[in-house]
Amino acid sequence: MTPNQKISRKKRVHPANPKLLPSSERAELQRQGAKAAARGDDATSNPMHDTPNMPAATGESTDLWREREEAWQQGHNAQSSVLDRSPEADDGRR
């Protein structure tokens, strides 16, 4: 390396997978998805599919919307899998 070369200290994000959603918001959406599953709400109740939360209404990018949608779904799926493995699920109670 020559003395005139600079070392880039920027954190690089893979262009095909830029994480736009802050981790705190991702965690909150996952929590909300898990609570919905615990209440017995179906996976189709994802609030990101409601018209006011769609990119056309919010003006956000489709990529950011998709990350929000997926975060909620991940929380719902995680809680649903816990419920499916619970002893109550084995005997039909839930």
**What does the pLDDT look like over 63-82, one tens digit per residue?**
999 999 999 999 999 999 88
Q: What is the pLDDT of residues 13-56, one digit of tens each?
A: 434 455 789 999 999 999 999 999 999 999 999 999 999 999 99
Domain map (residue ranges) of the chain: 31-40+47-86
pTM over 0.75: no
Query: b/e per residue, 13-44, with b = 16+ CB within 10 A?
Result: eeeeeeeebeeeebeebbebbbebbeeeeeee
DSSP class of 86: S
* Structure confidence at residue 84 (pLDDT): 73
**Where is pLDDT greater, at 74 or 84?**
74
